[in-house]
Chains A and B, each alone.
Chain A
Amino acid sequence: MHRSLIWILIILMSVALYLVFIWSPIEKVMGNVQKIFYFHVGSAWVAFLAFGVVFVYSILFLMKRKRSYDMIAGISAEIGVLFTAIVLTTGPIWGRSAWNTWWTWEPRLTTTFILFFLYLAYIFIRRMDGAWEKKARLAAVFGIISFIDVPIVFMAIRWWNSKLHPIVFGDAPNQSGGGIEGEMLVTLLFCLGVITLLYIVLLQKGIYIERTKLAVENVKKNIQEKLMK
């Protein structure tokens, strides 16, 4: 199952690369740099999806106290942080050619920046000392709090931003090119699909690694107990 998913992913990924770099037209104003937009938006989408998953599994964990729920939440957060990091690196590359500065305090980018720290904090809580039950419980509580914080952060930053710079930059990145062409849209949607699949594969892999770790620990403990006797 996992194997076949990986193969499907590899094939789809090559198709996506083909669509991005060869099939879709080159954007008139920005040229080739615009291609990064597909990865940028895709990563942002997966980051939000990952944090949504953290939220849902945090609630589930607090209700059912199953270790697997905690595991999914934890791995999803790690993947989410990875993809926010991608957003935060592709964003400036995009911004450099769109607005001629590396970093703008554009609301979406700034929110992602805060999001990055929010879920880094979540991972810090998971790295606390003590039994996993405690860490899982506390992390779940933080996972809920931080998720409800995200829309408020976005709202506050957008207001703040519009106060600072009365001329709002192209509200969405694609507006700066003046409308999105049909082929670009198809490519974007395809990329979103593929990157979501990538997320699922990473999640599966992560769960597999965690389970293996646990199994190894159990074996270690059993051996220890046998030696003690």
Chain B
Amino acid sequence: MRDLIKSALAITWKDLYAEWRTKQVFSTMLIFSGLVIVTFSFAFDPTNNTIRAVIPGMIWVITIFAGILGLNRSFISEQYNDSLHGLIVSPIDPSSIYFGKFLSNFIIVLFVQMITIPLLFILFDYKMNGNILLFLLVLFLGSAGFICVGTFLAALSANSRSSEMLLPIILFPVISPIVIAAVQSTRILLIDVEEIESLFSWISLMAGYDLLFFVFCFFLFEFIMEV
């Protein structure tokens, strides 16, 4: 188990380092999020008061669409020089590849959220007055569930020549519960604070989803890593 985490961290570190060197994925995700925000401002009149109602949805639309860009790269980048095969022949558990990739994708998405969500609040003139800690927890759980399944299915779709097209198609239906739960709990926190008691059932749904899918993906990953 310790070896598993160690090699997973080595993979995470390698990915994040390569990303830090090139900043390719991160900057693409940021620019994309910015463009989505601008498009939203055209679609929904930002001076109108009803704009508040769509902010929770916007947060998750940005996260998921930007996240998919990163997920797509995550395993395609292992295909130059067949470096994924290098990981398969090395003495590590296949699950540690999953865990390592999960962590690096998760960290990148959290960073993107750290920039885009405040930006969204500023541009749409939204004043946050809910519980910040709970909000962060919701962001954390929602993104974790999305990346958990996303990393797994990115590895799966990387086997296809048209993986960029395949990934969204297979990912969206599977993550629909986490999207519902994340949007609903964000809505409760940001807008309908009076429904706070139902927040906890949404949070527990997300936590349950995260746990269940993490375990399944973790153990099924070795079947994806066969050549």
CB–CB under 8 A between A and B in the complex?
yes
Interface residue A146 (Cβ < 8 Å from any Cβ of B): yes
Interfacial chain A residues near B224, Cβ < 8 Å? 137-138, 141
Residue of B nearest to A138 (CB): B156
Query: CA separation between A130 and B157, bound complex, in Å?
Result: 12
B166 engages A128 (CB within 8 Å)? yes
Contact bitstring B161-192, A, C-beta under 8 A = 1, else 0:
10000100110111011001100100000000
B152 engages A149 (CB within 8 Å)? no
Interfacial chain B residues near A62, Cβ < 8 Å? 223
Given contacts A130-B159, A138-B156, A160 and B180 within 8 Å (CB-CB): yes
B205 engages A155 (CB within 8 Å)? yes
A138, A140, A146, A155: the one within 8 Å of B173 (CB): A146
Residue of A nearest to B221 (CB): A141
Q: Which of chain B's residues 195-225 have a Cβ closer than 8 Å to chain A?
A: 195, 198, 201-202, 205, 208-209, 212-213, 216-217, 220, 223-224
In this complex, the interface size class of chain A, counting residues with CB under 8 Å from chain B, is 20 to 34
At the interface with chain B, which of A118-126, A175-183, A204-212? A118-126
In this complex, the interface size class of chain B, counting residues with CB under 8 Å from chain A, is 20 to 34
Interface residue B160 (Cβ < 8 Å from any Cβ of A): yes
Residue of B nearest to A130 (CB): B159
Interface residue A185 (Cβ < 8 Å from any Cβ of B): no
Chain A interfacial positions (CB closer than 8 Å to B): 62, 114, 117-118, 120-121, 124-125, 128-130, 134, 137-138, 140-142, 144-146, 148-149, 152-153, 155-157, 159-160, 163
Name 13 A/B residue pairs within 8 A (Cβ), A-sorted.
Answer: A124-B169, A125-B156, A125-B160, A141-B223, A142-B156, A145-B149, A149-B173, A153-B176, A156-B180, A156-B205, A159-B184, A160-B184, A163-B184
